[in-house]
Amino acid sequence: MKFVRFSRGKDPAAYGILEGKSIFGIKGSIYNRFEKTGDRFELSEVRFLLPCEPSKILLIGINYKEHIAEIGKKVPDVPSLFMKPLTTLINPLENIVYPEVARQVDYEGEMAIVIKHKIHGVSVEDARSHILGVTPFNDVTERIMGYDQELLTYCKGFDTFASFGPVIDTDVDPDDTVVRTFLNGQKVQEGFTKEMVFDCSKIVSYVSRCMTLFPGDIISTGTPVHVLPMKDGDRVEIEVGGIPERLVNFVYDPKAH
């Protein structure tokens, strides 16, 4: 099943289920019980929004071995956890804006998992049952600042430096899928989640032992090898598990205009 959130004209944002080229409206909660309303919309009628409304954006760094080698780090003993502020979020098809202080802004294509229940302190064995589904995620990073660990939050926390969606897919196996990134139509990243240092159950359990997680919270699980910079006018697309609905955003550098 593919959950989406969308807007249509002046109507308020709504949740729905994407089936083929149509969206079917729902009432209720995507995290609990819902039913179709009978409303049906064609994709040409709507604008995709972020497919859920997280209270927290959590991310796991250095979780693919090839990427760890690429940036010269050591394999961590525990998941490398950090957060992005909600002000980083932009909808699919919106612009990633180069900050005035930025020298190099990189994409980081990732798979994010979406939490289904309010949880705290769950076991590794139980963690999988609390995942609603997966969604493509772009952990945009100012790379030069990112070499300084003291600036990790700063280099990843600029406005417009995160996007995910446009769907949450409940059928993809998060521990056995593929993450791909395309820059201007060229494939630049491909990583298989079975090669992650920490699988999704370990990640959810680890994070939940620190903080309460709520329905809709996002945990992005790390980026594969081959992170590259973006420039003004670039189109960046992220694909997870062959889901045909890629996350698409554009890059806008005010200094170039």
Q: List, for residues 115-126, the tens digit of each pLDDT value.
A: 999 999 999 999
Contacts of 81 (CB under 8 A, 6+ apart): 58, 59, 60, 61, 206, 207, 210
Q: pTM to 2 decimals?
A: 0.96
Handedness of CA 94, 30, 12, 47 (dihedral sign): positive
Residues paired with 131 in a beta bridge = 115
Q: Which CATH topology does 2-49 take?
A: SH3 type barrels. (2.30.30)
CATH homologous superfamily of 57-256: Fumarylacetoacetase-like, C-terminal domain (3.90.850.10)
pLDDT tens for residues 212-234?
Answer: 999 999 999 999 999 999 999 99
**Domain ranges within the chain, ordered by starting residue:** 2-49, 57-256
pLDDT tens for residues 37-47?
Answer: 999 999 999 99
Question: How much is the average pLDDT of 178-188?
Answer: 98
pLDDT of residue 149: 67
Handedness of CA 186, 191, 149, 86 (dihedral sign): positive
Amino acid at 159: D
Q: Which helix (H) or strand (E) holds 124?
A: helix 124-127
Q: How far is CA 231 from the centre of its chain?
A: 21
